[in-house]
A = this chain, B = another copy of it.
Amino acid sequence: MAASAPRSGNYEQLKGELSRLYPGMSPQLQRIATFALEHPQDMALDTVATLARGVGVQPSAMVRFAQALGYDGFSELQRVFRGRLVERSNTYPGLRNYRERIEAFRAGQQRSGPGGVLAQFVADGIASLEQLHEQVAPGDLAAAAKELSNSKSIYVLGHRRSFPVAYYIAYALNQLELEAHLLDSVGGMLKEPARQIGPKDALIVISFKNYTPEVVEVAQACHARKVPVIAITDNALSPLARAARVCFQIEEKTSKPFRMLVAPMCLAQALVVALGEQISK
C-alpha cells in the first residue's frame, strides 16, 4: 500500500483522508474505518485491545490502520479523536463563529495599543459569557428562584469587587418591589444586621477568591441557622460552596490577572428576572 502519509491533525481532516483512502483499503481496514467513524468516542477513550475486540480484529490490525493513515502508531491516531472530544466539549456550534472571529480579530490587532485593550476585553467578556452558560446547570437558576420566592426578605452580601454585583441585585429586587436589603458594612456594621436574618428569609452572597473572610463568616453563620443561602462564587472548593443551598460557580479561564465582572453581572440579572417570572405566576 502506497498510503501517502497525510497524518491529519484534526478530526475533520481525518475524515477527509479516510474517505479518500477508504476504497483502496483492505476489507479489514475498511471495517476498522467504519467502526472508527461510528464510535469516535470509543476510539478516543478505549485501549487498542478493547477496540480490537469491538471491531473483531487483532490489536495489530488497529495499529496497521493507524499506519495506513500515515501515523506512527495507534496512539498518535487516538490523539486526533481525543482532540475532537475536548474541542466539542467546550465549543458550541452556535457560538463557534464568534470564537473564530474573535481569534482572528485578536491576531490582527496589536495587543498593547489602547484600542486593543477594549478589543481584548470584549473578547474575554464573550468567552466569559460562553463559559457561564456552560457551567451553570439549567436547574440551578430555577432552584434559586424558587428558594427566593418563598422567602420573606432577601439579603444580599458582597464586598470589594463583588460589591457591584450585590448592589445590583438588591437594587433590581427593590425595583420588583421585593423586600431586599443590601448588607453593606457602612460604618463598620455588618454582623449585627446579619444576625437578624432568619430561616424564613434568604441570603444571596457573592464572593470570589480570595474570599473576604467577613463575608464567608456571615454566609456560614446564616447557613448554620438554616437560612437559605444562594451563592455566586468561582469554584466548587470555595468556602461558600459548602455554605449554600444553591451555588453558582463561575470559573474564570482568562489570562488576566484580575477577575472579569461580566459573567457574574449577567448571572445576577438573569437571576433577578428568573425570580420575577417565578413570582408572577
Contact = CB atoms under 8 A, between A and B. Distances in A.
A55 interface: no
A97 B45 CA distance: 27
Question: Could you tell me the dominant secondary structure of chain A's interface residues?
Answer: helix
A30 B235 CA distance: 13
Contact of A138 (B45, B82, B118, B251): B118
Q: How many copies does the complex hold?
A: 2
A277 interface: yes
A261 B251 contact: no
A93 interface: yes
A13 B142 CA distance: 19
A121 B16 contact: no
Contact of A242 (B23, B30, B142, B172): B23
A71 interface: no
5 contacts: A19-B236, A94-B138, A114-B142, A163-B164, A164-B167
8 nearest CB pairs, A to B: A115-B138, A164-B164, A114-B142, A88-B89, A94-B97, A15-B236, A121-B270, A19-B241
